[in-house]
């Protein structure tokens, strides 16, 4: 029997066995990519994101409605002088069919990831997050009972809430930034049967995010010319590129790759800095000087990954290169102005990262970076927080542990194992 999908090393080109595999066993500094046996996409009669199950690295599905939503913008499109502005809305907006309760596209990553884990390597999944990813995985855990451990910077704890009670998850807060949380999550994964979720290296996460591009293509009948997204790791940009490659292979949605227009928030803009000099590798003094201070000043801290998959084969640099991409460095002020404009013309409130993205689109329109007659897909990666608060009694999720940045696992290992045994 032909397997539904195989994993391939982007750099070496060899196929790789699937055991929730995250990196190339031959040691190539490369992402793995899922290749699907089905070359033509059939939109399935399954809930939410699982409509796109053909191109997700899972066999089963979950009874969760969260999925991408695509619509043609009228008001904002006219305001910006665009002929065809298509919005991919990932958040809570019931009138438009937006049912992502935790209000960001991280739920699109969480859903296929937990299914892939259960099918390929049942374990306790460990997720490091600046907040939105943690909330997404906690929500999926709440709805399905699938156990997770999430590790977040202490400053993100106030963003941990769900719309259903969480009974099978443990939260660890780290006194540091997102990168410190990532480092501590690696400590947790040193315990047997605790599995690193994998971030950008996880094909389920990328192909989950890639459904934004798929939904846009099936909704409007073709791929867009431009794809706008604010990035911290760039996983969503890579995912959009990979989804577009599959759509080209499908043959019904056009044959030109959408150009990636990706943005970061000043003063922390390492990928903009490196890309503008056409460098694959970061020069930390140039690209992220005084990183901690810069990170503390941005409007959108989900965009502040210090170790993004930029240089790795198949990563952000390659995706920008392949699609003739552009990067934008957006100020806090521009983001806030863009947010007001979006709310005025389209309605819902935005995640600050989505505001950064809207600001980049405004800049692109004003500076002639794009042809206004062409089709723009604007990925609103998060929004609808005000509305979800009105419609649901949100349940705050508290940390079980708080650790110092750079702490080792020994300090909490025994207690964590006991907690996981009884609750997870």
Q: Name the one range near ligand PLP by CB under 6 A: 210-218, 233-241, 325-333, 334-342.
A: 233-241
Q: Report the alpha-carbon distance of residue 301 to residue 198 in Å, rounded.
A: 20
Q: Name the one range near ligand PLP by CB under 6 A: 171-179, 180-188, 235-243, 410-418.
A: 235-243
Closest contact distance (angstroms) between CB of 61 and ligand PLP is 23
Q: Does 353 bind ligand PLP (CB under 6 A)?
A: yes
x/- track of binding to ligand PLP for residues 355-374 (CB under 6 A): --------------------
Q: Does 106 bind ligand PLP (CB under 6 A)?
A: yes
Maximum separation of any 2 CA atoms in the chain, in Å: 60
Closest contact distance (angstroms) between CB of 375 and ligand PLP is 21
Q: Report the alpha-carbon distance of residue 352 to residue 339 in Å, rounded.
A: 8
Closest contact distance (angstroms) between CB of 256 and ligand PLP is 22
Closest contact distance (angstroms) between CB of 330 and ligand PLP is 12
How does 297-316 read in b/e, with b if 16+ C-beta sit within 10 Å? ebbbbbbbbbebbbebbbbb
Task: Using the minimum distance from each CB to ligand PLP, give the nearer residue, 115 or 230.
Answer: 230
Angle at the Cα of 202 from the Cα atoms of 417 and 7, rounded to 5 degrees:
125
Q: Name the one range near ligand PLP by CB under 6 A: 78-86, 190-198, 225-233, 397-405.
A: 225-233
Q: Are 161 and 104 in contact (CB under 8 A)?
A: no
Q: Name the one range near ligand PLP by CB under 6 A: 114-122, 183-191, 289-297, 347-355.
A: 347-355
Task: Using the minimum distance from each CB to ligand PLP, give the nearer residue, 57 or 236.
Answer: 236
Q: Report the alpha-carbon distance of residue 307 to residue 321 in Å, rounded.
A: 19
Q: Does 232 bind ligand PLP (CB under 6 A)?
A: yes
Q: Does 351 bind ligand PLP (CB under 6 A)?
A: yes
**Of the residues 30, 70, 139, 233, which one makes contact with ligand PLP according to CB under 6 A:** 233
Angle at the Cα of 240 from the Cα atoms of 70 and 357, rounded to 5 degrees:
70
Closest contact distance (angstroms) between CB of 15 and ligand PLP is 26
Task: Using the minimum distance from each CB to ligand PLP, give the nearer residue, 357 or 412.
Answer: 357
| Signed CA dihedral, 204, 211, 45, 89: sign only | positive
Task: Using the minimum distance from each CB to ligand PLP, give the nearer residue, 106 or 261.
Answer: 106
Q: Does 139 bind ligand PLP (CB under 6 A)?
A: no
Residues 6+ positions from 393 with CB-CB distance below 8 Å: none
Closest contact distance (angstroms) between CB of 264 and ligand PLP is 9
| Paired tokens of 328 | 């934008």
* Of residues 236, 227, 265, 228, the one with CA closest to residue 356: 265
Q: Report the alpha-carbon distance of residue 128 to residue 316 in Å, rounded.
A: 20
Q: Does 132 bind ligand PLP (CB under 6 A)?
A: yes
**What do you get for the CA distance between the two ends of the chain, in Å?**
36
Task: Using the minimum distance from each CB to ligand PLP, give the nearer residue, 211 or 235.
Answer: 235
**Of the residues 104, 211, 323, 360, which one makes contact with ligand PLP according to CB under 6 A:** 104
What are the residues facing 171 on neighbouring strands?
150
Q: Are 245 and 400 in contact (CB under 8 A)?
A: no
Q: Are 142 and 165 in contact (CB under 8 A)?
A: yes
* Of residues 33, 159, 150, the one with CA closest to residue 104: 159
Task: Using the minimum distance from each CB to ligand PLP, give the nearer residue, 23 or 413.
Answer: 23
* Of residues 150, 158, 153, the one with CA closest to residue 176: 153
Looking at residues 146 to 205 of the shown chain, list those that interact with ligand PLP (rule: CB under 6 A).
Answer: none
Residues comprising the chain, all counted: 424
x/- track of binding to ligand PLP for residues 374-393 (CB under 6 A): -------xx-----------
| Signed CA dihedral, 359, 364, 365, 370: sign only | negative
Q: Does 312 bind ligand PLP (CB under 6 A)?
A: no
**Of the residues 7, 32, 134, 302, which one makes contact with ligand PLP according to CB under 6 A:** 302
* Of residues 234, 250, 188, the one with CA closest to residue 55: 250
Q: Does 234 bind ligand PLP (CB under 6 A)?
A: yes
Residues found near ligand PLP in the complex (CB under 6 A)? 104, 106, 132, 230-237, 302, 351, 353-354, 381-382
């Amino acid at each position: 029997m032909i397997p539904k999908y195989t994993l391939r090393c982007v750099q070496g080109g060899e196929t790789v066995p699937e055991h929730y595999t995250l990196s190339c066993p031959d040691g190539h500094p490369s992402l793995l990519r899922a290749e699907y046996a089905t070359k033509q996409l059939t939109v399935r009669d399954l809930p939410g994101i699982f409509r796109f199950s053909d191109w997700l690295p899972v066999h089963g599905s979950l009874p969760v409605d969260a999925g991408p939503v695509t619509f043609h913008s009228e008001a904002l499109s006219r305001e910006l002088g665009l002929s065809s502005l298509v919005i991919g809305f990932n958040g809570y907006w019931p009138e438009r069919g937006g049912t992502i309760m935790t209000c960001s596209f991280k739920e699109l990553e969480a859903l296929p990831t937990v299914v892939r884990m259960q099918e390929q390597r049942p374990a306790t999944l460990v997720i490091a997050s600046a907040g939105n990813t943690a909330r997404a995985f906690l929500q999926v855990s709440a709805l399905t009972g699938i156990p997770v451990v999430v590790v977040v910077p202490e400053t993100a704890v106030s963003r941990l809430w769900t719309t259903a009670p969480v009974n099978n998850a443990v939260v660890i807060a780290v006194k540091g930034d997102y990168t410190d949380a990532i480092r501590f999550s690696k400590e947790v994964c040193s315990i047997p049967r605790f599995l690193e979720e994998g971030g950008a290296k996880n094909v389920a996460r990328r192909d989950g995010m890639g459904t934004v591009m798929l939904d846009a293509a099936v909704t409007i009948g073709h791929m867009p010319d431009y794809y706008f997204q604010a990035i911290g790791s760039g996983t969503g940009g890579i995912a959009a590129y990979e989804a577009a490659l599959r759509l080209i292979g499908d043959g019904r949605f056009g044959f030109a790759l959408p150009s990636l227009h990706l943005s970061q928030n000043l003063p922390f803009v390492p990928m903009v800095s490196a890309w503008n000099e056409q460098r694959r590798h970061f020069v930390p003094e140039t690209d992220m000087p005084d990183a901690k201070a810069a990170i503390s000043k941005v409007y959108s801290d989900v965009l502040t990954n210090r170790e993004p998959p930029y240089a790795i084969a198949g990563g952000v640099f390659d995706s920008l290169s392949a699609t003739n991409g552009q990067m934008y460095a957006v100020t806090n002020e521009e983001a806030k102005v863009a947010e007001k404009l979006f709310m005025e013309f389209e309605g819902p409130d935005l995640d600050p990262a989505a505001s950064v993205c809207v600001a980049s689109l405004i800049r692109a329109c004003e500076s002639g970076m794009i042809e206004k007659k062409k089709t723009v897909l604007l990925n609103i990666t998060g929004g609808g927080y005000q509305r979800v608060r009105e419609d649901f009694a949100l349940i705050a999720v508290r940390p079980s542990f708080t650790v110092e940045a750079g702490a080792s696992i020994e300090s909490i290992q025994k207690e964590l194992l006991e907690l996981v045994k009884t609750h997870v």
